[in-house]
């Protein structure tokens, strides 16, 4: 049992097997740590995207009984502390009006990242560092991120 699902479905034998493979395929502990960090970041983003999908579904059920219908589903990618996150959300419409129930202010999204007030610049820097690290496989050093 784990703290995320309380059922063990996330940390299944497949996930444990993937971690074992990453460790075995690495030449040394530094490479293993780098691969595991990348893998865990991806897992975090997938978990958050799944959670947002559930929240979007719950919100839709509330608005559906009020007569709102789905105009389309849009994908959105944001850069945040735990990685690059892509999720989908419903655009609802009713009587010529439309909106996303899963609004930025609900999940604290502003622009291209998840931020705290007065932290926009630092968040942007973390996003750039995170993207650079994932794409190049190298750590960004000598920078005050």
DSSP readout, 26-59? -SSHHHHHHHHHHHHHHHHHHHHHHHHHHHHHHH
Residues of the chain with confidence (pLDDT) below 50: 1-4, 8, 109-135, 137-145
pLDDT, tens only, 27-41: 999 999 999 999 988
Instruction: Provide the pLDDT for residue 131.
Output: 43
Dihedrals φ, ψ of 72, to 5°?
-170, 170
Instruction: Provide the pLDDT for residue 70.
Output: 97
Q: Give the angle 18-21-23 at the CA atoms, nearest 5°.
A: 110
Tell if the pTM clears 0.85, that is, is over it: no
Instruction: Provide the pLDDT for residue 113.
Output: 45
pLDDT, tens only, 7-20: 545 567 778 888 99
Instruction: Provide the pLDDT for residue 89.
Output: 92
């Amino acid at each position: 049992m784990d703290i995320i699902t309380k059922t063990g479905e996330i940390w299944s034998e497949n996930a444990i097997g993937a971690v074992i493979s990453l460790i075995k395929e690495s030449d040394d502990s530094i490479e293993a740590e780098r691969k595991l960090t990348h893998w865990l970041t991806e897992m975090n983003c997938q978990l958050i995207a799944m959670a947002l999908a559930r929240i979007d579904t719950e919100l839709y059920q509330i608005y559906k009984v009020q007569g709102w219908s789905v105009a389309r589903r849009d994908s959105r990618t944001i850069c945040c502390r735990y990685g690059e996150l892509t999720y989908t959300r419903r655009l609802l419409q009713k009587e010529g009006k439309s909106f996303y129930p899963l609004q930025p202010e609900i999940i604290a999204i502003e622009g291209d990242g998840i931020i705290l007030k007065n932290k926009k610049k630092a968040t942007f820097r973390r996003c750039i560092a995170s993207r650079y690290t994932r794409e190049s496989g190298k750590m960004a050093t000598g920078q005050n991120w």
